[in-house]
Amino acid sequence: MKVTKAQAQENRARIVETAATLFRERGYDGVGIAELMAAAGFTHGGFYKHFRSKADLMAEAAACGMAQQVASSGDTDLVEFVTHYLSREHRDDRGAGCTMAALSGDAARQSGDVKTMFADGIERSIAEFQRQDAASGGLSQDQARAKMIATFAHVVGALVMSRACPDDSPLADEILQVCCEQILTAHK
């Protein structure tokens, strides 16, 4: 049975979205092609009809995950974003959480395409933070950008550190709480 062009695009999108979730949960090396395709509802052999390599899928999944993150934060103000981002709920939901917090360490060891997708996602996130922080009155564009880079690095770093602790560790919660308070105080 021949697959229509539209159906092929839908299948590819499902594979990319499934990969984005699985990669956030387990890292790039923690997911094999056969397992990924099965999770998306396809056979292993169909993978190469959509992608040249796993690296190509990793780059596309990174772009997808980061676009989802930017889109989900677009209607929230900075306080609401930081409060949710540094919550236990977000911390514990790796599959639906932030691609950067889940995969930045892995991305640093990947191909240029994956790194480029991460750089593009970081740039879009910083731009979104700048857009949200209209209350940065009196700052030059360069100062406002520096403030947003520091904020973004702070939230991502806090989430990564909290996730590195055992789930029931008081330190895991303390990292989220202290960083959230520090960031929100800096943005008053």
Distance CA 23, CA 44 (A): 17
Please state, in angstroms and rounded to a whole number, the distance separating the CA atoms of residues 130 and 149.
9
Contact between 122 and 152 under an 8 Å Cβ cutoff? The reply is yes
Domain coverage including residue 152: 5-186
**Rounded to 10 degrees, what is the CA torsion of 102, 103, 105, 110?**
170
CA–chain centroid gap for 155, Å, is 12
Residue 45 buriedness (CB in 10 A; 0-12 / 13-18 / 19+): exposed
Check which CATH number belongs to the domain holding 42 and give it. 1.10.357.10
Per the structure, the count of domains in the chain is 1
Cβ count near 174 (within 10 Å): 12
- Tokens representing 54 are 């796993």
**pLDDT for 94-134, tens place per residue?**
988 899 999 999 998 987 888 998 999 899 888 877 776 65
For residue 58, give the amino acid letter.
M
pLDDT at 77: 81
Q: What is the pLDDT of residue 21?
A: 95
pLDDT digits (tens, 9 = 90+) for 30-43: 999 999 999 999 98
pLDDT (mean) for 4-29: 92
pTM higher than the cut 0.75: yes
Supply φ then ψ for residue 75, to 5 degrees.
-100, 10
